[in-house]
Amino acid sequence: MRVVLADDHPLFLDGLKNLITSRGLEVVGTACDGWEALDRARSLNPDLVLMDVQMPRLDGLAATRLIKAEMPRIKVVMLTMDDRNESLFEAIKSGASGYLLKTENTDVFFQSLLAMAEGQAPLSAGLAARILKEFAEHPDDTRKVAPEDGLSTRQRQVLAMVASGMTYKEVGAKLNLSERTIKYHMGEIVQRLHLENRSQVIEYAQRIPLA
């Protein structure tokens, strides 16, 4: 199994890499934030990305959504110290194949990863029941939205221009729209791409073809 590791703590990243390698898995690349994880997934085409939830620039949840939308074959398993329900459910809705706590026993951790080959979802103890309960109560929450494919033609035009460095006023003049309308479109784009702010959207747009 070819693996990419994504975590912003170098000591943990090195330790995890050594552990995984000693168990016979191949670590083909590492990343220290969500954007790097997306780049590594694109360039290295791994079987699995082990993704930290909390990372700078782009967090693991947003990175998972982008990876799964563009490369659905790649499996993503979240690694975290956080077992709060909201993070767990958001990870699964984002397309993650599993959710493992960093406090997990080493043997159990690797057994969970290897179980993916048999179609099982790697989840730390007690988490599976919580997921089933949540989705049984809120079945509509399981739907996923693809990133840039969900943008309208106009939104893609606006995004491409803003990402090229044009101001909202300049984009509005080019498209015969008001500056207020351009701001509205950018707000919609942020939501549809499931990102957090304009800066993240622009950085993402600079990495994908919008034509």
Q: Is the pTM of this model over 0.85?
A: no
Torsion of CA 29, 33, 36, 40, to 10 degrees: 30
What does the block give as tokens for 193? Answer: 């791409």
Domain count, the chain: 2
Q: Count other C-beta atoms under 10 Å from residue 11's C-beta.
A: 8
Q: Is 73 part of any domain?
A: yes
What does the block give as tokens for 54? Answer: 């909390």
Q: What is the pLDDT of residue 191?
A: 74
The per-residue pLDDT string of the chain (211 residues; one tens digit each, 9 = 90 and over) reads: 899 999 999 999 999 999 999 988 999 999 999 999 999 999 999 999 999 999 988 899 889 988 988 898 999 999 988 666 566 777 777 788 888 888 888 888 888 887 776 666 777 666 655 655 555 555 555 444 345 555 778 888 898 899 888 999 999 999 999 998 899 888 888 877 767 788 888 877 776 665 5
Q: Is 210 part of any domain?
A: no
Instruction: Give the end of a domain, one of 87, 116, 141.
Output: 141
Instruction: Give the end of a domain, one of 93, 110, 141.
Output: 141
Q: Is 67 part of any domain?
A: yes
Specify whether 164 is located in the same domain as 65: no
Specify whether 152 is located in the same domain as 126: no
Specify whether 45 is located in the same domain as 131: yes
Q: What is the pLDDT of residue 117?
A: 66
Identify the CATH number of the domain in which residue 154 sits: 1.10.10.10
What does the block give as tokens for 96? Answer: 């993650």
Q: What is the pLDDT of residue 195?
A: 73
Q: What is the pLDDT of residue 208?
A: 66
Which residues lie below 8 Å from residue 133, measured CB to CB, with a gap of 6+? none
Cα separations (Å) of 122 from 10, 91, 116, 128, 182?
24, 13, 7, 9, 43
Identify the CATH number of the domain in which residue 118 sits: 3.40.50.2300
Q: Is 211 part of any domain?
A: no
Secondary structure of residue 152 in the 3-state scheme: coil
Domain that holds residue 106: 2-141
Specify whether 18 is located in the same domain as 99: yes
